[in-house]
Amino acid sequence: WVKKEAPDAIEAIKSLVHKGVVPKPRDLKKAAAVRVMEEYVLGQETNMRDLIKKKFGREHPAFESRDVEYYKRVVHNGGAS
């Protein structure tokens, strides 16, 4: 998978070096492989974060509007009823 994605990453690094955004790496292929792997990990983290948010939302449904108003009053009054 990394070998398939590496040419695009190499071109991306070359364009960033040409623009002056990043310094030229000593080993372009290694830098491209690291870039591809970091993008993969970032994508996996994002997917897991979204999955966890959805799961949490299913297991802990939102308060109804009247409950929200009640808890706002409780917090505002310092918990005294």
What are 7's two structure tokens?
Answer: 């040419």
Place of tokens 């990453």: 9
Q: Is the pLDDT of residue 81 over 60?
A: no
Angle (CA) 77-78-81 rounded to 5° is 65
What's the chain's Rg over C-alpha atoms?
24
Q: Is the pLDDT of residue 77 over 90?
A: no
Instruction: State residue 48's pLDDT score.
Output: 97
What are the boundaries of each domain within the chain?
Answer: 2-76
Nearest to 14 by CA among 31, 37, 39, 34: 31
Over the stretch 5-62, which tens digit does the pLDDT of each residue have?
Answer: 888 888 888 998 888 888 888 988 888 889 899 999 999 999 999 999 999 988 887 7
